Amino acid sequence: MSTPRPTADAVSAAAMLSLRWTTRIISEIDDNGPIPHRTAQATFPDIPADSLQHGLRTLRQRGLLQVRERRDDDSPVELTQAGQDLGDVYEALSRWARRHHYPTEQTDFVTRVEATLYLLRDRHTVSLLEAPSAMPYGYRARRALHAGLIGTGSNGWYTLTEAGGELGQALAVLTNWAAAHPQVVMEATSRRPGRPTTALHHVAGPALPPAHASSTPVPRFPR
């Protein structure tokens, strides 16, 4: 029997879920139900055809989507149980980002979720959210500092801000999802890392020092 690794599994889950187009595809099907596989492109006109097919195939391999085969060649693409359960995760992440204007005050649902996942795919940030006083001052905390998740105390240790404490609650939802679907997380960690979500290194720019920021516009998706 494997030993539970809540921090590592949450980080792995965040890394998997922040892959290109994942939030867009999962949230669309979660909102509107299964879509016919042969007309998927009409549902996602903003996603290039080759990227959409790659995304759908990858999400099936990772256990988040499934295709219910039918004889009329109109097989619907639908969420697995793991995919359905992401609704609570996305809601928790989006609610935190909206409350704390992350990454900016005016962002849509998909961007909020992706930017927050990008924070949680950093194991140092997750470790700080779980035990801020266990890490002395150091460069590994720079993302959490610039995101306003932690502050510095007089005793030489970090403390959680209100935003950090509330992100810890969202992290718990993600951790519970990973624990409920260990096979999905295991599948993700057994594969090579994929590409991050669209321009996410720009979306999450405020979490890094100014030298790492970019002026590339953030993409917008409907919600």
Q: Both ends of the chain: CA-CA distance in Å?
A: 41
User: Using one digit for the tens of pLDDT, what is the confidence trace for 20-31?
Assistant: 899 999 999 999
CATH number at residue 151: 1.10.10.10
As a whole number of angstroms, the distance between CA 34 and CA 75 comes to 9
Mean pLDDT of 47-66: 95
Domains in the chain, number: 1
Is 199 a domain residue?
no
Residue predicted with more confidence, 2 or 69: 69
Is 171 a domain residue?
yes
- The string over 190-205, giving b where at least 16 C-beta atoms fall within 10 Å of a residue's C-beta and e elsewhere, is eeeebebbbbbebbbb
Is 101 a domain residue?
yes
User: Using one digit for the tens of pLDDT, what is the confidence trace for 62-112?
Assistant: 999 999 876 666 789 999 999 999 999 999 999 999 999 999 999 999 999
Is 152 a domain residue?
yes
pLDDT value, residue 202: 39
Is 214 a domain residue?
no
Is 195 a domain residue?
no
Q: Does residue 107 contact residue 114 with C-beta atoms inside 8 Å?
A: no
Is 80 a domain residue?
yes
Is 207 a domain residue?
no
Q: Which domain holds residue 168?
A: 8-190
Average pLDDT, the chain: 83
